[in-house]
Structure 1
Amino acid sequence: MVKFEYKTFQFGEALTQEQKDYFRKYGVIQFKNFINADTIKTFIDELNKIEKKWLDEGIEKINGIPLKFGKDPQGNKMIQRMCFTNKYSPVLGEFLKDPRLQLLVELLAPYDGRISEDEKDGLVFNHYVNSPNSKFTQMGWHTDSPRDLFLGQKILPMLNVGIHLDTCPTSNGGLRVLPGTQNQSVFKLLFGKKQFVDHNPDAREVGFEIDAGDLTVHDGRLWHRVEVSPNMGEKSRRRVMYVPIITGKFMPKNENSKTPFYHRFAKVVQK
């Protein structure tokens, strides 16, 4: 595995060669101040509206993808993973058209990539909170590639673009990656660790000092996990929106889409 040099970057009118080389080497990159405090508040307000509507209506799946439910620190029911939120908010739908997001497609070169508005799980919102009744506090080591196999496709590169709505230093848990593992063999990509089940820290892993408004990008073939917060309640709260940038055959989903087979394992890996 490559020796990691932690750096952060700022978005400009185009991706620089340094940024492309950094991502190619490590499979991950962090951009500071991608959105401001007002935009963060707007996004959180929109997500809260969607959550309330879905809870009031008893919605359990969107386009065949199950929602993940838990309890907030006050014991109220909450949705801890929401998908296709861009389809239920004009504000979030418009955000996916941000030209800066389109620039990130270049990180998939020489493959032709696209922002996943109607495919995979659309714009995902993950809401981690550490409380006695929370169902979503961490996520075990995994790569995003096995999903392609379950869908009958060959493994293709993809990007997971995270827009962070809360400040999260490494001391509060959060994203951990094994830099450079996007270039591993297919065998190691699939079996290098026990997918989702293994939560053990790795001596080679790195975390990130994330401020609210930052953006991270990681290659889907990279081994990554989400570390549980050592804090409880409000101090543990971490809200992240994920934009998938994908390649391959166009495979849109709609209200009639079947639940993918791999979601049957959700209760096994959910923590």
Structure 2
Amino acid sequence: MRIFTVDSFTDRPFKGNPAAVCLLESPRSDDWMQSLAREMRHSETAFVTPREEGHPYGLRWFTPAVEVDLCGHATLAAAHILYSTGAASGAIEFSTRSGILTTKLLDNGFISMDFPAYLPTEIPTPAILPEALGATPEWVGAGPMDILVELKSEQVIRDLTPDIEAFTTLDARAVCVTAPAADRSTGIDYVSRFFAPNAGVPEDPVTGSAHCMLSPYWSTKFGENTLVGAQLSPRGGTIHTTYTHPRTTLSGPAITIWSGDLHV
């Protein structure tokens, strides 16, 4: 079987978020896929099953620790491999645990992805959150998977050194922190970071699924449907978002780092 590593939401190698993409030739067990994801050590490994006539491709995502319901950067990576190898063209449909997800290759080389939108609902601030963050939340909300925390400024997001282990006590996949961009004239509208120790990922470099929540949140606040978010991890990356309730379109580039053959 063919296997690849792709850097997503970047056009530069060793930036963005790396994902492994495994093109399955035949069904494999959940334990086998989880073991391979653990071996690959990326925040997600995407497993693509062949498309039968009239049906979408199958797509599942595993962190080194668990299977997840939705992953943006590994979906982008999977679509990038199908397009770049000539296996697919036009719109690609993937059947996933989050329903049918559709991707398109755009004229500028970006890949767009039609994803669900999750407008977060305000919740009381969990008692451990301010101390664990080392910062005072401006607003706290929750989506179906993650807790969203708006902080005062982009600089606070950059300087954050949270107690990531403390987040494991929360009933959520992850804590996503966000703030408006310091200077929107640069083309960046909002910034974020994403901490997911409960999924085996202390800090994720660039998180597509988090933007399913960030996109409607900031579009609602700014009154603008189309925005650009920057994730301020050490690797960094940007995601272009367009919110049209109840969906959001996420788009960006990707680059193949290596490819090879799987021998097990």
- Smaller-chain TM-score range? under 0.3
TM-score (norm 2): 0.26
TM-score (norm 1): 0.26
